[in-house]
Amino acid sequence: MLASMMVSCNEKLEVDITQAFTNLTVDPATVNFPARPINTEKVTVTTSAKNWDFSKPETATWLTVEKQGNELYFTANENSGTAQRKADVSVSAGKAKSVTVQVTQHGNTVYYLEVEPTEISFEAKETTTKTATVITNVADWGFEKPASATWLNVAKDGNDLKFTPDSPNTGTSERKADVIVSATDAGSVIIRVTQAPFDPEPVTLEVDPTTIIFEAGETSVKMATVTTNADSWDYSYPVSATWLNVDKQENTLRFTLNSPNTGASQRSTDVIVTAGDANQVTVKVIQEPSSPPVVYNTAECHYWGDFFDTGTTNFDLWMFNSSDDDIGIRIEGFCTFNQFKNFTLDAGTYSLANNGNVRTFLPGNVENTTVYSTYLFNRHTGQYTLITGGTFTIAVSGSAYTISTSFTGENVNTGATVSDIRVNFSGQMIYINRTIPSFDNQYTYQATGTPGWRDQPGPTTWNGNFNSNKTGQFWEITNFGGSANCTIKAHYIDGEIVLDADDIVFETATDVGRLEFFVKYDGALHIVATKYWTVQYNMTTREMDFSGNIDINLGGSYGIVRDIPLQTGVRVFNKNTGVDLGWLTDVYPDIKLVLIPVSSPPAVRQSNMMTEGMGKMNVMTSKSVTVRKQIDTVSGVLTQIKRYDE
C-alpha cells in the first residue's frame, strides 16, 4: 500500500512537472479588423509541445482561422452591421495552459473623402500657388505625387493641398501630374494638375512718328517713341548719313542734326528699327534744303527816340510785302541818336545784345503769351518765331536801303530751333514817328492849366476833342482854353509837334482869333514874336506839354531875361481895322493835355495764338524834356486886358 501510494504520488508529480515545463505563447494576442477587411491577419504560436491546436467559437461564423505551421491566419468577413463583434480563439498545446487570441471587428461606419477642385491648371508663365481643399471624416489622410512631376511642388496644409509650379513651362508640351489623395476606408481621389505649354505671343513693334522732318538749319532734338513687347530692340542707319546723329534712350529714338543743309537739295536717310521677330519699322529722316532768302518789298522804320534812356535811338524795323502785311519780320534795335527830322538808320552790321548800344538789336521774347522785340510772324496761321541769334546788315546808297539778315531762332508754337533765317529788302525806307500821337487815332483830351492874366480867370481844367488830320499832318484841338469857340491846330513838321502863331483859331464875319505866345514880366505881358512853338509829347502817358522856359531879350532896361516861362493864349482882332478886341481865352504858362483814344486800330495785332506787343518790354521811365529856347525878338508889350466875349 505504501508502494502503491508512492507510485500514485510519483505519477501526479510527473504530470505537474510536465505541465509546468511546457510553454505556450501567441504574438500578437489581439487581432483587430475594420468593418471592410482588406488583409488577412497573422498570429505566431510558440510552444515547446510537440503539437498545438486552436478552437474558435461556433458562433463566430464571420471569422475564419487557419493553422499553417506555427502560425494562425485570421480572415474576417465584412461587418455589415454597425456594432462591433468579437471572438476569442483558444490556442492549446499539450499540458500547457491554453492562451486566448482576442479578435475584434469594428462596426460598419460610413467614411467619405471629397476634394475640391479636382482639376487645377496653370498658365505657362504662372508660378503662383493654388489650393485644393480635402473634405473627409477619416482622421488621417495623405497624398501621393508622381515621382516624375519634379516641376510641381505639393504641400499639405491642414485640410488643404498647396500646388506651386517651381518654374514657368518653357516647353512646347503641356505638363501634367495626377496627385492621389487617399484616406483609410474612404478610398482615394485623383487631382489632375496641368500647366499650359509655352505659346509665345507675336512680337509687336511700333514707332511714332515714322517721318522726322528738319528745316535746313534746324538744330533741335526730335524724338520718336518705340513701343514693343520684345525684351529688347535696336536700330541702324547708313554710315554715309554723317549729317545725322541717332541715339537710343529707353523707349525713345533721338534725332539730332550734326550740320545745317546748305545745299539746294533735300537730304534724307532711313533709320531701321528692329525687335525680335517683329517686322522692322523704317523711320524716314528728312532735312529740307537751304531756302533762298525771303524777299520783301516794303520796309517801315518806326522811330521811338531815346525810349530806354540809353543815349541811342530805339527803332522797330518792319519788313513785309505790300500785298500782305500779315507775314513778315519785326526787328527792334538801336542806332545813333537823332531827332526824328534828322533820323536815318545807321549803315553796318547789327548784332544781338540787351544793352541798347549803337547797331544792336534785342532778341525775341514772350511774356504772358505776347511776343516782343524781334520775331518772324504769320498772322494767318498764328505762327511766330523768336529771333535769338545772328546778325543783320544795312547798306545805304543815297535814299536806297539794302537789308539782309542771317538769324537763328525758336519757333514759339513748337519750341523747335530754327536756323538760316534769311530775309532781304532793297528799296526806299518808310520812316514813322512813334513819339507823336498816331494819325490813325481819334482822341478826346483832358486839359489842365494855371490861368494867369484875366480878371475873371479861365478854367483850370477842361475837356475837348483831339482830331487827327492825316492828310494835312495836323491835329485839331477843340475847346482850347475852355472856350467852345476856339479850335487850334497842332502841326507835325520835321518830326515835331508845333503850334503856329499864324493859324486862325477863331473866326466870325468881322473878327479873327490867333494863338499868340507871351512872357509875363514885371506885371505885363510881353508878346514873343515867334512863328512856331514846339509841344512835347510823352508817348507813354499820352501827355502833350505846352509849357517851356525861354531866354528872351525884352530890350530897354530889361535886357535879356533868362529861363522865363512861355505863356499861351488866344487874342481876337477886327478883320478890317486890326484893332485888338481882347482875349478869347486866358493866358496859361503850363497847359497839359492828356489824350484818350476814342477810335483807333488795336494797339496790338491779334493772331490765332499769340498777341504782338507793339510797345516795349521792360520799359524804362520816359523822360519829359524841358524846353529851353533862345528867342531874341520882342514884338511889343501888351497892356490891354479886355476879354473878347465879355
**pLDDT digits over 500-552, tens only?**
888 888 889 999 988 988 888 888 888 887 888 889 888 878 899 999 898 88
- Give the pLDDT of residue 451: 93
Confidence class for position 617, pLDDT limits 50, 70, 90: very low
What mean pLDDT do residues 335-341 have?
91
Instruction: Kindly state the average pLDDT of the residues 586-614.
Output: 67
Is the bond preceding residue 117 a cis peptide, omega within 30 degrees?
Answer: yes
**Span 188-215, mean pLDDT?**
91
Asked whether residue 54 carries a pLDDT value surpassing 60, the answer given is yes
Q: Residue 479 is which amino acid?
A: N
Distance (Å) of CA 427 to CA 343, 349, 486: 17, 18, 44
pLDDT band at 601 (very low <50, low <70, confident <90, very high): very low
The mean pLDDT of 484-511, rounded to a whole number, is 88
Percent of the chain with pLDDT over 90: 56
- Provide the 8-state DSSP code for 482: G
DSSP sequence for 311-358: SEEEEEEEEEETTEEEEEEEEEEEEE---GGG--PPPEEEEE-SS--T
Lowest mean pLDDT among 4-8, 62-66, 243-247: 4-8
pLDDT, position 613: 56
What's the confidence (pLDDT) of residue 17? 53
476 within 8 A of 466, measured Cβ to Cβ: yes
Higher-confidence residue of 233 and 630: namely 233
SS3 617: coil
Which among 108-117, 279-288, 523-532, 622-631 has the top mean pLDDT?
A: 279-288
- Strands (E) located in 186-266: 187-195, 205-208, 211-214, 222-228, 234-236, 244-249, 252-257
Three-state SS for 292-324 is CCEEECEEEEEECCCCCCCCEEEEEEEEEECCE
pLDDT the model gives residue 332: 95
Indicate whether 639 pLDDT > 80: no
pLDDT score recorded for residue 18: 53
Is residue 105's pLDDT more than 80?
Answer: yes
CA distances from residue 197 to 121, 125, 145, 148 in whole angstroms, order as listed = 11, 9, 20, 17
Query: Which three three-digit cell numbers place residue 570?
Result: 488866344
- With bands split at pLDDT 50, 70 and 90, how would you rate the model's confidence at 286? very high
18-105 is a CATH 1.10.10.10 domain = no
113-195 shares its CATH topology with 205-287: yes
Average pLDDT over residues 384-408: 94
Of 493, 437, 484, 411, whose CA–CA distance to 214 is shortest?
Answer: 411
Q: What is the pLDDT of residues 214-272, one digit of tens each?
A: 888 777 899 999 999 998 999 999 999 999 999 999 999 999 998 888 787 889 999 99
Please state the φ and ψ torsions of residue 3, each to the nearest 5 degrees.
Answer: -65, -45
Mean pLDDT of all residues in 376-399: 94
Q: Where are the domains of the chain?
A: 18-105, 113-195, 205-287, 294-433, 442-638
Residue 423 confidence class, pLDDT cut points 50, 70, 90? very high
DSSP alpha helix (H) spans, 91-209: none
Average pLDDT over residues 281-288: 94
Compare 451 and 618 and report the one with higher pLDDT.
451
Question: Above 90 in pLDDT, residue 464?
Answer: yes
Average pLDDT, whole number, for the chain? 85
Buried b (16+ CB within 10 A) or exposed e, 290-299: beeebebebb
* 539 vs 595, residue with greater confidence: 595
Spatial separation of the C-alpha atoms in residues 364 and 384, rounded to whole Å: 10
Contact, 96 vs 49, CB < 8 A? yes
The radius of gyration of the chain's CA atoms, rounded to the nearest angstrom, is 60
CB neighbours of 526 closer than 8 A, spacing ≥ 6?
Answer: 518, 519, 520, 552, 554, 634, 635, 636, 637, 638
- Distance of alpha carbon 25 from its chain centroid, rounded? 98
Query: Is residue 596 left, alpha or beta, with left meaning phi > 0 and alpha meaning psi from -120 to 50?
Result: beta
462 has pLDDT over 80:
yes
- Integer Cα distance of 396 and 335 in angstroms: 14
Asked if residue 155 lies in contact with residue 132, where contact means CB atoms within 8 angstroms, the answer is no
Q: Of the ranges 332-341, 523-532, 578-587, which one carries the lowest mean pLDDT score?
A: 523-532
Give dist(CA 273, CA 119) in Å, integer: 45
Topology annotation, domain 113-195: Immunoglobulin-like (2.60.40)
Query: 161 near 167, Cβ under 8 Å?
Result: no
CA distances from 94 to 3, 20, 98, 432, 434 (A): 29, 11, 9, 152, 149
Top mean pLDDT of 10-19, 31-40, 374-383 is at 374-383
* Residue 602 CA, distance from chain mean position: 33
Match 491566419 to its residue by C-alpha cell.
73
| Structure confidence at residue 611 as a pLDDT band (50, 70, 90) | low
The count of other CB atoms within 10 Å of the CB of residue 559 is 10
- pLDDT at position 459 is 95
Which residues, at least 6 apart from 487, have a Cβ–Cβ distance to it below 8 Å? 476, 477, 478, 479, 480, 505, 506
* 357, burial (CB in 10 Å: exposed 0-12, middle 13-18, buried 19+): middle
SS3 431: strand
> Percent helix, strand, coil in the chain (nearest 5)?
5, 50, 45
Residue 526 C-alpha cell reads as 510881353
CATH code for the domain defined by 205-287: 2.60.40.10
129: cell is: 500657388
Residue 637 has pLDDT above 70, yes or no: no
